Amino acid sequence: MREKVQEHTTDIEVIKLEIIPETKRWLEKIDFINTEINFLRMLLFRNFIIKINRNVEDSKHLLKVLDELQENNTKRLKASRDLRHKLEGLRECDDVQCENLYLGEYLIYKEKIYAHLEEVQHVKSLLYEYFANGLKE
C-alpha cells in the first residue's frame, strides 16, 4: 500500500516512501521479462521449423543472445529481491548517515536496473527486426 505524502514530509522522507514501491515495480518488470524471453525463444524455435527467416546463423546467434539475457535477467531478479529485502531496513533508520547508506545503494542499483532494461530493449529490437525481415521475404 502506498503511503501518502504529508505537507510536513521532508525530502528524505519522500524518498523513503518511494524506494520500497519502486523496487517492487522493478521486480514485477524483471519477472515479466523472463516471460517475454521464453516467448521469444519459442518464436525462434518455431522459426527453425517453418523458416520465416531463412538465416539460420542469425537464429542461432539470437538464441545465444536470449540465453545470455535470461541469465542476466535471473541474476538481476535475485539482486532486486535481495535489495528490496535489505531496503526494508531503511524504515528503521533514525539518522542521516544510515539513510544515506541505503540511499546510496538504491541509487547505484537504480542505474544498473536502467542499464539492464536498455539491454532488454536492444535485444527485443534485434528480434523484431529479425522477424520483420523474415516476413518481408
The residue among 49 and 97 whose pLDDT is bigger is 97
pLDDT of 5 over the 60 cut: no
DSSP 31-42: HHHHHHHHHHHH
d(CA 101, CA 122): 32
Which tens digit of pLDDT belongs to each residue from 18-55? 888 899 999 999 999 999 999 999 888 776 555 665 67
pLDDT of 57 over the 60 cut: yes
Structural contact between residues 77 and 34, judged by C-beta atoms closer than 8 angstroms: yes
What per-residue confidence (pLDDT) applies to 132? 85
pLDDT of 4 over the 60 cut: no
- Whole-model pTM: value is 0.81
Is 51 in a helix, a strand, or coil?
Answer: coil
Is 10 in a helix, a strand, or coil?
Answer: coil
Q: Is 51 left (phi over 0), alpha (psi -120 to 50) or beta?
A: left
